[in-house]
């Protein structure tokens, strides 16, 4: 692939911007500035730097992010900073076939909800993991305002009726971690579903954290507000999620 095409595919600006970066000796490969935009490189395993920023070529982006509270999962947030502001610019600017450029979160979290976000520019993976037809389980750790009763746990598993849906909505699994905390597994993605389900059994959510999507768990060594690329094994697991 030509060097200018490589930079463009990775989100380093318009084609003109990428050509200008190359002409200005801002692109280094193997320790040398590359000034020919038409120079061809094998992209597999390619490492380079732009303006001193190291980068690895990825044909498609697959990331996980530990979302902190106080961020909206939107490219155009209304009241809080965008969670995408936690990512470097190339990931926000990667060209896509859709109207919105950059990686997209697979399933949103409310601004006050923390935990695991998977982000990608792979439309097939986004559909597979987000579509309710595939029933990808999502595990939440829920802190409640009042002590959780056995009856409430039982109701959440058997199904509760939400205001806008006459059909009962049930958790795939529900276990009590301690007096004020639940681990709740859902396979649907209705609006504010966890909060509304807990309210339906007579309790209230004080804090909500997503710990797992499919078989992907939030690593304990990934701090809040930080992101990383999925490993090959994690990506394979994501591709098989159901």
- Proportion of the chain in helix, strand, coil states, percent, rounded to 5: 25, 30, 45
Rounded distance, CA 109 to CA 191, Å? 10
Task: Quote the DSSP letter at residue 107.
Answer: S
Distance in angstroms (rounded) separating the CA atoms of residues 48 and 79: 37
Residues 8 and 129: their CA atoms lie apart, in Å, by: 27
Q: 85 by DSSP, 3-state: which?
A: helix
CA distance 191 to 199: 13
Tokens read off for 175: 């276990």
> Residue ranges of the alpha helices (H) in the chain?
3-9, 15-23, 89-93, 123-130, 150-158, 193-200, 232-239
Residue 154: φ, ψ to 5°:
-65, -45
Hey, which residues are catalytic here? 110
**Which helix (DSSP H) or strand (DSSP E) does residue 242 occupy?**
none
> In this structure, what token pair is assigned to residue 214?
């499919």
Q: How far apart are CA 198 and CA 14, in angstroms?
A: 47
Yes or no: say if 242 and 214 are a contact pair by the CB < 8 Å rule: yes
Phi, psi of 133 (to 5 degrees): -65, -25
């Amino acid at each position: 692939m030509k060097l200018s095409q490589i930079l463009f595919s990775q989100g380093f600006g318009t084609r003109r911007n990428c050509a200008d970066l190359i002409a200005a000796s801002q692109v280094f490969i193997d320790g040398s500035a590359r000034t020919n935009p038409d120079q061809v490189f094998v992209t597999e395993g390619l490492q380079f730097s732009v303006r001193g920023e190291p980068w690895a070529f990825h044909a498609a982006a697959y990331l996980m992010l530990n979302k902190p509270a106080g961020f909206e999962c939107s490219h155009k947030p209304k009241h809080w900073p965008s969670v995408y502001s936690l990512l470097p610019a190339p990931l926000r600017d990667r060209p896509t076939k859709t109207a919105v450029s950059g990686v997209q979160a697979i399933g949103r979290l409310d601004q006050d909800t923390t935990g695991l976000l998977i982000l990608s520019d792979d439309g097939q993976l986004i559909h597979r993991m987000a579509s309710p037809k595939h029933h990808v389980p999502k595990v939440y750790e829920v802190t409640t305002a009042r002590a959780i009763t056995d009856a409430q746990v039982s109701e959440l598993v058997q199904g509760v009726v939400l205001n806008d849906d006459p059909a009962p909505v049930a958790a795939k699994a529900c276990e009590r971690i301690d007096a004020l905390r639940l681990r709740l597994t859902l396979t649907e993605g209705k609006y504010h579903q966890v909060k509304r389900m807990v309210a339906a059994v007579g309790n209230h959510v004080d804090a909500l954290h997503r710990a797992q999507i499919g078989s992907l768990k939030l690593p304990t060594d990934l701090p809040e507000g930080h992101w990383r690329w999925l490993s090959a094994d994690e990506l394979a697991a994501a591709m098989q999620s159901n």
